[in-house]
Structure 1
Amino acid sequence: MKVDWITPVVVLAIAVSMVAYAWSTGSIYTSSVTIHALAVSGNQGAVINITITAVKGLPSYLGGNVYVSAMPLPIGEGGTFISSSQIAAFVATTLAGQSLTNYNFLVNVNSSTIEVGGPSASGYMTVGMYALITNSSLNPHVVMTGMIMPDGTIGPVGGIPDKIRAAAQLGYSTILIPYGQQNYVTSSGQVINLVNLGKQLGVDVVPVATVYQAIQYFTGRSFNLSLQLPPQVISNISAISEYLYKILYVNYGNESALGNQADYEAALSSANNGDYYTAASLLYNALMDYYTNLFKNVTLGYAKALVANMSAELGLMTGEVNETQPTTANLDIMIGIYDRIYSAETLLNETINDINSGNMANLPSDLAQLYTRVITLKYWFNVLNAINGGNPIPRSYLAKLSGLYVSYAYTTVTYLYSLASAEGLTTSIGFISTINQLINQTNVAQEFYQNGLYLKALAVSLDTIASASAIMHAMFLVGGTNASLYLLNVIRNVATYNEALVSQCNGLPVLSSAYIQFGNYWFRQYNNSLAGNPSSASSQSYMIEALSLYEESIAYSLFLRQLYYELGSCPIAQYTINFTALQYTPMGATQQVPLGQSTSAAFSAPQLTEVNMMYLAIGVSLMALGLLVLVFRVIGVNRSRQLSA
């Protein structure tokens, strides 16, 4: 019985605190809206009233919270009502061009159902929160069901036919449902055309793919999702990507030509088409394949020496980026560098584990990935040093946003786990391993944050959010090939829209744009594969590659937008690029020990157990075994989309 009154009491205590603060400052503003969420109670549809209150004016360190009060408690379906309401707040504030820390939201659920739970009202809650922030009115004749995804798309829900009948009975004229569910399959296998069902009941049933579309139906506000980067920004980003490709080709083109031929030829073709980031990534893959073959007969002595060398170089590069001043112009590249450093540290741990355990089967591949990652990472520093200007970012802001994103990553993974639990997927060993890996990543991000490594924590958090988002889409994708094509087009449009908004603030979304370009490459591969066997593993992997890269782009762009809103600087200060610093001249390659030769004095091979302990505090070993191939492909794509010079 105690549990029943805990949540209302907590919310009351928060409200009292807010009133006290308002009394002392006179600057608290509140507004409320009640939405009429569609639900299912037993075998019948129902409408529950959810009152959302936005509170603005508290200090930012007290902001960014969502408090839920519900009777009964919102614990159904794994508590996804709570986690989805937090996702809704993040999406709504970003869409409205506001920092999340400017607001707190109180969500009060008045339900006649036996149990409150599930994410099906979260799309509607996002619309309600957006309306409060922008002072917009909601069309009282429209209702909605659909779960909010972290990228702003609307995910599938259950019980839609009963929800439509309940809404029609209560006099609503327009009912928004998730796109892809207009031909609804019941638990008994019956297929119901929901648009036709609506016509029979005298209501319009409208499928929507994004919250942008939903907001337009509710408020009349529209978003130009066809927004594109301006030509000058495209030119700047293309010049940076061209450098990354050409410097890699100049220094390692011969080696790459001896690696994976398909990747090598595709790299040259992409470069001829001006898709330089794609070309660099594919060339990188070919180079990594070359070193994998080269290291097939590697000795432990050689591997130890190379690991020592890589460890030392990685430490020097980490020190260099730690000393760099983050600005609104270079932050995108700095986070990308930290992302690649974290990837290298993880690979270092795996390689050390291979050596310690004598795992000669995995050692060539892990050592090749580590070596390729480290020797090409220096080129990103040249890009970083070529970007000047922008606003210096105070460390206090980095701490605030890093903490916010570490929490957001945890919420997103919790959301994924809750949804998977509701679908019965958590009984799979493969899925449990994937979830554990994502949870480990959130723990690593938390550790980085606690140690003051805010940008590194951000890099890991953004990866985690993107991976979890892609898995959610893969998990709930319905409708076969057509649904996959539509989904990829929608998410690509969301990605290009968000990178364009970054550029409107005078930002330089290098990685956001690069990931879209590489995603487009895999999208084309997926399209081409449909002429053969669209259900083949390779075809599905192309789709997942594209989806994951688009999600990574969105994660980066949304972060940059939140940063600008938090700083209150959109547009940000002008930046310049020193293109003369981006030359394609050959550079000295990292020193190697000839294969089969004993360790020489040029290399200081440390005690591997000591190195292992040092890096285990930083990295997380990746799981190799899994049953859910698509889900693991989402995790694996984090490496492939990092694989650029």
Structure 2
Amino acid sequence: MVRQVLCPLQEIIILMEKKCPSPISVRILTLLILIIMISSFAHAQSASAAQVSIPLPAVYATSEGEVGVLTDLTVWVTNGTGHVFVDTAPFTQVDMQGSARLSSMVACDITGINPETRDFFYVLHTDSPVIGGPSAGAAMTVATVAALMNWTIDQGVVMTGMINPDCSIGAVGGISAKLNASAKKGAHSFLIPAGQGNVTLTEHIIAQNGSLVTVKENSVTIDIFALGETQDIRVMEIEDLRDAILIYTGYEIPNVLLTGEVQTTSYMDAMQPLAATLLDESRTQYNDTEVVADTEFIDALESQVLAIKDAQADYDAKNYYASMSRSFNTMINLRHIRWYSECLALDEGNLDEYIADRIEQVENEISDAELAINKAKSENGVLEGIGAAESRLSIAREKLADAEQTKHAGDAIELLAFSMERARSAQWWATLSCAGSGQRISNDLIRDRAGRYYSQAASMLAYADALISETGGCKTQIMSAKKDLSRARNELHAGHYAGAIYDSLHAMVQANTAIELIGIEDLDEKTNNSEKDAISAIISARESGAEPILAVSAYEHAKILEPSQMGKIVDYGYATMVARTAQSFTGKKNTSMTYTTGVPWYADNNARCSRGKCTAQMPALRGWGALAAITAVYLVRRLRWHR
């Protein structure tokens, strides 16, 4: 590329030296041309704005049933700040926008590109009625990857399938109608989600006997593979986005998973003193509570003895976060038992005063927590620790507000006990944030990230909510995500930007998990894969110079404490996202991404690139390059005219 720029320049300089009367003019013109050409070269190294088009299959309902249609989606990517633009005409469902945002996230994740350095453009114009977004997600992501890497895609391949955040392909409907439409347009291959090679359709048989009209439903199973053979189109089931990318582009993106120790010596050295302190505090609190506990809490007290033993066992096994978590829960229960027992011993007239005193006590603890967080910020504490502390401070305030609103004394005591210990845990995390050497991050950058992550989480949650409503999936993650997002919004308004970052990330994980688990009954494989992803992300963050203490804590919680597979998947997912966020703040990558070419069954791939390792194709000079060329031609002609 440099030689292509300099060789024409040398010819121009020689001509100018021969014909221009002034050496100064030669130098000025030479400098001008060189600046323009270097600008064009630098522009060529930036994100390509080359457009990538991909056929999208869809269906729409008619009086005679579903009709397939094939339309074109155009995608391009430029240098930017993480915006996603969607232009559709005449109509698309709202989930098309969510699908576009998810596609950009997954494409950047799989290529190792920071999405905050790019802007994404999706243009879909179609003559058909309403087009829905979820079933186009996988193809949209393939097109986005191709646009990011400046790769060419095979226009004879058509794909239907949702894209999940973990790169798996989700089930969709209308497959036979989409296949028929693709065959009519000359496609040679049709990619479908795994397990959908046979689909069952419901036929409506209408019979009329005089004035009586009856409608019978008849289930028909269609072999999609056989249907494809009759139309000379090959059907393939695809489980992972990487397989689709290989078929579309000929490039293979490896799924590199790092392995290593999650709980390092430095992590355990930071956690051990606090875990020991909390164990001692839980024992002291037990002794104080046992003296005043009402007889109705005998069984509850015995269970706290067992909980303290479990915390000690975790401590002995060097699972310090698990031990801390058990101690935290034990102290909530003990404080509740003690305060409630004290209430039972009071005269009814003194109950309101007692609760008012406890409210004041909790308020003071919350104030102490805020001071501890501000101190950690001033000492350049690790952002994850500060974020965890601010999130816990927000929860403490929420529970305090709930306690002040409730009219039942027992409920108020329970909420106040939780708020008290949650405020204390905020102080613990503020202390932990100063255990390591935090990277100095400007408050402006943290505020900007908080706003971006909140917006991204809100978009993903809206998309997930729409999908769950359509498919009848589990609402548990959606409800949890809404609580996380509400807390993040309050933290943004309060200026607690680190807390807003990590609560937004947790909301995003909940929404992503809801999408990924649509139609999945066996969670074993998903749980195992989520754990591997978390380990890889944590190791990768460490290789970049970060110590992701919050990510490791989430991993340990999933591994040791969380009983349900659903909860484990969420915890591992959160560990993965937090670790990647920690790495993004370092601005470093641990390894360089390489791509290899495969030879898809449908074509000889030699024309695309040589076998073995390939790099992204260099984008052609555009814009400034054209201006440089025009300038060069003009000057050469002027000089030759003076001959």
TM normalised by structure 1 equals: 0.69
Partner residue of 1:515?
554
Q: CA 1:254–1:98 in 2, change beyond 3 Å: closer, same or farther?
A: same
Q: Is contact 1:516-1:550 (8 Å) kept? A: yes
Q: Is contact 2:391-2:503 (8 Å) kept? A: yes
Cα offset, 1:465, TM superposition: 1.6
Q: CA 1:217–1:115 in 2, change beyond 3 Å: closer, same or farther?
A: same
In structure 2, distance between residues paired with 1:146 and 1:328: 45
Partner residue of 2:389?
337
Q: Is contact 1:515-1:550 (8 Å) kept? A: yes
Partner residue of 1:302?
354
Partner residue of 2:429?
380
Say whether residues 1:101 and 2:133 are aligned partners.
no
Please, which moves more after superposition, 322-331 or 547-556? Answer: 322-331
Q: CA 1:316–1:192 in 2, change beyond 3 Å: closer, same or farther?
A: farther
Say whether residues 1:246 and 2:276 are aligned partners.
yes
In structure 2, distance between residues paired with 1:262 and 1:197: 62
In structure 1, distance between residues paired with 2:378 and 2:76: 36
Partner residue of 2:54?
35
Flag structure 1 segments of 5+ consecutive residues without an equivalent.
1-21, 526-541, 573-645
In structure 2, distance between residues paired with 1:212 and 1:261: 51
2:163 equivalent among 145, 148, 158: 148
Q: Is contact 2:279-2:311 (8 Å) kept? A: no
Cα offset, 1:449, TM superposition: 2.7
1:50 equivalent among 69, 73, 79: 73
Say whether residues 1:545 and 2:567 are aligned partners.
yes
Say whether residues 1:133 and 2:145 are aligned partners.
no
Amino acid at match of 2:444: S
Q: Is contact 2:321-2:556 (8 Å) kept? A: yes
In structure 1, distance between residues paired with 2:364 and 2:483: 26
1:99-131 deviation line (CA, Å, top 9, x unaligned): 323221211113343212232212322232223
Cα offset, 1:402, TM superposition: 1.3
Q: How does 1:523-534 map to 2 (within 5 A)?
A: 525=563
Cα offset, 1:166, TM superposition: 4.5
In structure 1, distance between residues paired with 2:379 and 2:159: 41
Amino acid at match of 2:78: V
Q: How does 1:584-595 map to 2 (within 5 A)?
A: none
Partner residue of 2:530?
491
Partner residue of 2:578?
556
1:472 equivalent among 495, 498, 515: 515
In structure 1, distance between residues paired with 2:181 and 2:307: 54
In structure 2, distance between residues paired with 1:270 and 1:414: 39
Q: CA 1:291–1:215 in 2, change beyond 3 Å: closer, same or farther?
A: farther
Q: Is contact 2:403-2:412 (8 Å) kept? A: yes
In structure 1, distance between residues paired with 2:384 and 2:335: 29
Please, which moves more after superposition, 149-158 or 485-494? Answer: 149-158
Counterpart secondary structure, 2:173: coil
Say whether residues 1:227 and 2:250 are aligned partners.
no
Q: Is contact 1:252-1:287 (8 Å) kept? A: yes
1:165-204 deviation line (CA, Å, top 9, x unaligned): 5446656565544456566565677666767877887635
In structure 2, distance between residues paired with 1:157 and 1:382: 48
Q: CA 1:150–1:561 in 2, change beyond 3 Å: closer, same or farther?
A: farther
1:311 equivalent among 354, 359, 363: 363
Over the matched positions of the two proteins, sequence identity in percent amounts to: 20
In structure 1, distance between residues paired with 2:326 and 2:222: 45
Counterpart secondary structure, 1:31: coil
Partner residue of 2:466?
418
Amino acid at match of 1:370: S
Cα offset, 1:146, TM superposition: 2.6
Partner residue of 1:321?
373
Cα offset, 1:521, TM superposition: 3.5
Counterpart secondary structure, 1:388: coil
Cα offset, 1:80, TM superposition: 0.3
1:87-110 deviation line (CA, Å, top 9, x unaligned): 222332343333323221211113
Q: CA 1:389–1:421 in 2, change beyond 3 Å: closer, same or farther?
A: closer
Q: CA 1:221–1:90 in 2, change beyond 3 Å: closer, same or farther?
A: same
Please, which moves more after superposition, 114-123 or 169-178? Answer: 169-178
In structure 1, distance between residues paired with 2:268 and 2:384: 15
Q: How does 1:45-194 map to 2 (within 5 A)?
A: 45-56=68-79, 58=80, 63-74=81-92, 76=93, 79-138=94-153, 140=155, 142-150=157-165, 152-164=167-179, 166-167=181-182, 175-179=190-194
2:455 equivalent among 393, 407, 423: 407
Say whether residues 1:293 and 2:312 are aligned partners.
no
Q: CA 1:389–1:562 in 2, change beyond 3 Å: closer, same or farther?
A: closer
Partner residue of 1:580?
none
Q: CA 1:28–1:90 in 2, change beyond 3 Å: closer, same or farther?
A: closer
Q: CA 1:232–1:352 in 2, change beyond 3 Å: closer, same or farther?
A: closer
Say whether residues 1:278 and 2:301 are aligned partners.
no
Q: CA 1:93–1:202 in 2, change beyond 3 Å: closer, same or farther?
A: closer
Please, which moves more after superposition, 184-193 or 451-460? Answer: 184-193
Cα offset, 1:152, TM superposition: 4.5
Cα offset, 1:269, TM superposition: 4.5
In structure 1, distance between residues paired with 2:125 and 2:181: 17
In structure 2, distance between residues paired with 1:447 and 1:339: 10
In structure 2, distance between residues paired with 1:545 and 1:141: 42
Q: CA 1:434–1:508 in 2, change beyond 3 Å: closer, same or farther?
A: closer
Cα offset, 1:515, TM superposition: 1.4
Q: Is contact 1:147-1:154 (8 Å) kept? A: yes
Q: Is contact 2:379-2:434 (8 Å) kept? A: no
Amino acid at match of 2:69: A
Partner residue of 1:622?
none
Q: How does 1:456-471 map to 2 (within 5 A)?
A: 456-471=499-514
Q: Is contact 2:56-2:71 (8 Å) kept? A: yes
Amino acid at match of 2:280: V
Cα offset, 1:55, TM superposition: 1.7
In structure 2, distance between residues paired with 1:198 and 1:45: 14
Counterpart secondary structure, 2:135: coil
Amino acid at match of 2:113: Q
In structure 1, distance between residues paired with 2:455 and 2:510: 15
Cα offset, 1:435, TM superposition: 6.0
Q: Is contact 2:55-2:158 (8 Å) kept? A: yes
Cα offset, 1:216, TM superposition: 5.0
Partner residue of 2:23?
none
Amino acid at match of 2:394: Y
Q: Is contact 2:54-2:73 (8 Å) kept? A: yes
Aligned pair count reads 507
In structure 2, distance between residues paired with 1:141 and 1:274: 56
Please, which moves more after superposition, 185-194 or 126-135? Answer: 185-194
